[in-house]
Amino acid sequence: MPEKYNHEKTKWEEDVKKTLKRFPERKRAFHTSSEIPIDYLYGSKEANYPLGYPGQYPYLRGIQPTMYRSRLWTMRQYAGFGSAIETNKRFRYLLEQGQTGLSVAFDLPTQIGYDSDDAMSEGEVGKVGVAIDTLADMEKLLDQIPLDQVSTSMTINAPAAILLCMYIAVGEKQGVSSEKLTGTIQNDILKEYIARGTYIFPPKPSMRLITDIFAYCQENLPKFNTISISGYHIREAGSNAVQEAAFTIANGMAYVDAAIESGLDVDSFAPRLAFFFNAHNEFFEEIAKFRAARRIWAKIMKEHYHAKDPKSWKLRFHTQTGGSTLTAQQPDNNIVRVTMQALAAVLGGTQSLHTNSRDEALSLPTEESARIALRTQQIIAHESGVADTVDPLGGSYYVEALTDELEEKVMDYLDRIKAYGGAVQAIEEGYMQREIHHNAYETQKRIESEEEIIVGLNQFKVEEEVNPDLLKVDEELEQAQINNLQQIRGERNQKEVDRKLQALRTNAKNQKENLIPYILDAVKAYASVGEICRVLRDEFGEYTGF
Q: Which is nearer to another protein, 120 or 379 (CB)?
A: 120
Of 238-267, which residues contact another protein (CB under 8 A)? 238
- E strands within 270-388? 273-279, 317-321, 352-354
Residue 526's φ and ψ, nearest 5 degrees, are: 70, 30
Contact between 435 and another protein per CB under 8 A: no
**Min CB(93)–another protein separation in Å:** 21
Nearest by Cα to 442 from 402, 546, 247, 434: 434
Within 383-514, where are the H helices? 397-420, 423-428, 431-448, 477-491, 494-508
Task: Kindly indicate which of the ranges 145-153, 190-198, 221-229, 370-378 contains the residues binding another protein, using the contact rule CB under 8 A.
Answer: 190-198
**Min CB(328)–another protein separation in Å:** 4
Contact between 541 and another protein per CB under 8 A: no
Q: How many CA atoms lie within 13 A of 36 on its CB side?
A: 8
Of 446-475, which residues contact another protein (CB under 8 A)? 448, 454, 457-458, 466-467, 470, 473, 475
Binder of another protein out of 236, 244, 391, 435 (CB under 8 A): 236
Distance, in Å, from the CA atom of 120 to the CA atom of 108, rounded to the nearest integer, reads: 10
Q: Which residues of 19-29 are buried (b: 16+ CB within 10 A; e: fewer)?
A: beeeeeebeee
Of 85-144, which residues contact another protein (CB under 8 A)? 108-109, 111-112, 114, 119-124, 127-128
C-beta atoms surrounding 383 within 10 Å: 8
Binder of another protein out of 84, 237, 273, 380 (CB under 8 A): 237
**Min CB(472)–another protein separation in Å:** 8
Stretch 320-339: interaction string toward another protein, x if CB under 8 A = ----x--xxx----------
Task: Kindly indicate which of the ranges 19-27, 140-148, 231-239, 409-417 contains the residues binding another protein, using the contact rule CB under 8 A.
Answer: 231-239
Q: Which is nearer to another protein, 210 or 473 (CB)?
A: 473
Q: Which is nearer to another protein, 102 or 112 (CB)?
A: 112
Binder of another protein out of 20, 197, 386, 486 (CB under 8 A): 197
8-state DSSP, 75: E
User: Chain-centre distance of CA 491, in angstroms?
Assistant: 36
Stretch 493-512: interaction string toward another protein, x if CB under 8 A = --------------------
Within 69-202, where are the H helices? 84-96, 108-111, 135-141, 160-174, 189-191
Q: With contacts defined by CB under 8 A, how many residues of the chain interact with another protein?
A: 43
Stretch 288-317: interaction string toward another protein, x if CB under 8 A = ------------------------------
Distance, in Å, from the CA atom of 129 to the CA atom of 173, rounded to the nearest integer, reads: 24
**Min CB(360)–another protein separation in Å:** 8
Contact between 188 and another protein per CB under 8 A: no
What DSSP string describes 20-68? HHHS--SSS--B-TT--B--S----TTTTGGG--TTSTT-TT-SSSSGG
User: Chain-centre distance of CA 60, in angstroms?
Assistant: 20
Sequence-distant (≥ 6) Cβ neighbours of residue 10 within 8 angstroms = none
Q: Which residues bind another protein (CB under 8 A)?
A: 108-109, 111-112, 114, 119-124, 127-128, 192, 196-198, 236-238, 324, 327-329, 361-364, 437, 440-441, 444, 448, 454, 457-458, 466-467, 470, 473, 475, 545-546
